[in-house]
């Protein structure tokens, strides 16, 4: 079976690997229809920070078709279209006991704790799979997870109805959050994105505020400390900033201004039930989402695509791999 494997920092290879031949009772074998490259995949490629072992097949944003069921699987049938809930929780810590799985003390992810979706097939546990409408294209179904993360950010932000929201970063999460803020939640949006083509693509889909305006609510989807400090400097006193960007290096944040202006900084970690909720938004947003993703890419394209994404050399918001496309 063909797959991409991460061997270490800046080292990802496409090769043939073996698949488990026998399923555990609650496991499901899947043919991977599409898998997205996430910012956390790139973070692991650059730092190796969250990998439990190497080499490892990455890829947690995936949609697939059920092709084999373990003996005790009750909720799925052969041929079902599914997406992965990629969270891997311990089930024992206080957060898990309260079913706050995204706060699990040992939280890990598919593609880090065990093999992910950058392969022709993958085996996952039944409880990690959510059914999705079969009439949606694979490259729309695969967006349920980043859309769920974006929805989590919006919920954490708690913006007052109708208030302007400033979004820093027009990549996947920032762009999807901006789209949902305007189309679903009816907020005016101001967006900053240095990649002009990306900005233009988003501007074509939304009525973005063109002139700088005062703002009380903001989202940072960059993870860049200097951008966060700029938001802290510009936001109105008493404002609220949702942080979802992943920094590759930690530098100082202007805590003095946070204190003096009574700014609330709120972290946004993956999602709780938002991925399941986001599935309902895929169909109404599908035409706009389609315009923000890459042309279909194959497994062989992964090393080159990782390099381009790390260099910021792409104009789309989401790279989508079709592992069974040859």
pLDDT of residue 249: 67
Beta bridge partners of 126: none
Burial class (CB within 10 angstroms; exposed 0-12, middle 13-18, buried 19+) of 68? middle
Phi-psi region of 79 (alpha: psi -120 to 50; beta: other; left: phi over 0): left
Mean pLDDT throughout 133-141? 96
Q: How far apart are CA 76 and CA 131, in angstroms?
A: 8
Q: How many percent of the chain have pLDDT more than 70?
A: 99
pLDDT exceeds cutoff 90 at 251: no
What's the N-to-C CA distance of the chain in angstroms? 13
Best CATH choice for the domain 2-143+293-321 from the list 3.30.1490.20, 3.90.180.10, 3.40.190.80, 3.40.50.2300: 3.90.180.10
pLDDT exceeds cutoff 70 at 194: yes
Q: How far apart are CA 311 and CA 133, in angstroms?
A: 35
pLDDT exceeds cutoff 70 at 237: yes
- What are the residues whose beta carbons fall under 8 Å from the beta carbon of 35, sequence distance 6 or more? 59, 61, 62, 63, 116, 117, 118, 142, 320, 321, 323
Mean pLDDT throughout 189-208? 94
pLDDT of residue 248: 66
pTM over cut 0.75: yes
With cut-offs at 50, 70 and 90, classify the pLDDT of residue 176. Answer: very high
Cα separation values, 172 from 38, 40, 56, 144, Å: 8, 12, 24, 12
pLDDT of residue 236: 97
Mean pLDDT throughout 309-313? 87
With cut-offs at 50, 70 and 90, classify the pLDDT of residue 135. Answer: very high
Residue with tokens 């270490």: 8
- What are the residues whose beta carbons fall under 8 Å from the beta carbon of 212, sequence distance 6 or more? 190
- Delimit the CATH 3.90.180.10 region(s) of the chain: 2-143+293-321
Q: How many percent of the chain have pLDDT more than 90?
A: 89
pLDDT of residue 20: 77
pLDDT of residue 285: 97
CATH, range 146-267: 3.40.50.720
Mean pLDDT throughout 94-106? 93
Pairing of strands 61-69, 81-84: antiparallel
Q: Would you list the DSSP string of 38-92?
A: PHHHHHHHHH-TT-SSSSB----EEEEEEEEE-TT--S--TT-EEEE--EE--S-
Beta bridge partners of 11: 8
Pairing of strands 217-220, 27-36: unpaired
Q: How far apart are CA 42 and CA 211, in angstroms?
A: 33
Q: How far is CA 132 from the centre of its chain?
A: 17
If you average pLDDT over every residue of the chain, what do you get?
94
Span 29-83, pLDDT tens digits: 999 999 999 988 998 999 888 888 999 999 999 999 999 999 999 999 999 999 9
Residue with tokens 């090769």: 15
Span 157-171, pLDDT tens digits: 999 999 999 999 999
């Amino acid at each position: 079976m063909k797959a991409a494997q991460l061997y270490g920092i800046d080292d990802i290879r496409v090769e043939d690997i073996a698949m488990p031949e026998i399923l555990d009772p609650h496991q499901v074998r899947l043919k991977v229809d599409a898998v997205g490259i996430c910012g956390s995949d790139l973070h692991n490629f650059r730092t190796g920070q969250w990998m439990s072992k190497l080499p490892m097949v990455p890829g947690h944003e995936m949609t697939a078709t059920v092709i084999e069921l373990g003996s005790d699987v009750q909720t799925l049938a052969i041929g079902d279209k599914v997406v992965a809930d990629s969270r891997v929780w311990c089930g024992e810590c206080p957060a898990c006991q309260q079913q706050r799985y995204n706060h699990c003390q040992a939280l890990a992810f598919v593609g880090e704790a065990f093999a992910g979706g950058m392969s022709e097939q993958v085996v996952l546990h039944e409880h990690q799979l959510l059914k999705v409408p079969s009439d949606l294209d694979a490259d729309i179904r695969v967006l349920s997870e980043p859309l769920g993360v974006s929805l989590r950010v919006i919920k954490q932000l708690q913006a007052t109805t109708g208030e302007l929201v400033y979004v820093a970063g027009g990549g996947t999460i920032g762009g999807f959050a901006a789209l949902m803020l305007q189309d679903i939640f009816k907020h005016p949006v101001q967006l900053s994105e240095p990649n002009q083509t990306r900005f233009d693509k988003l501007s074509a889909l939304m009525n973005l505020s063109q002139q700088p305006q005062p703002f009380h609510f903001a989202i940072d989807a960059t993870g860049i400390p200097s951008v966060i400090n700029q938001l802290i400097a510009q936001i109105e006193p008493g404002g609220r900033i949702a942080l979802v960007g992943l920094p590759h290096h930690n530098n100082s944040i202007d805590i003095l201004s946070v204190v003096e202006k009574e700014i609330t900084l709120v972290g946004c970690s993956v999602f709780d039930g938002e991925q399941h909720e986001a599935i309902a938004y895929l169909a109404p947003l599908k035409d706009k989402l389609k315009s923000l993703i890459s042309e279909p890419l194959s497994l062989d394209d992964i090393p080159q695509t990782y390099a381009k994404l790390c260099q910021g050399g792409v104009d789309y918001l989401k790279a989508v791999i079709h592992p069974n496309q040859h």
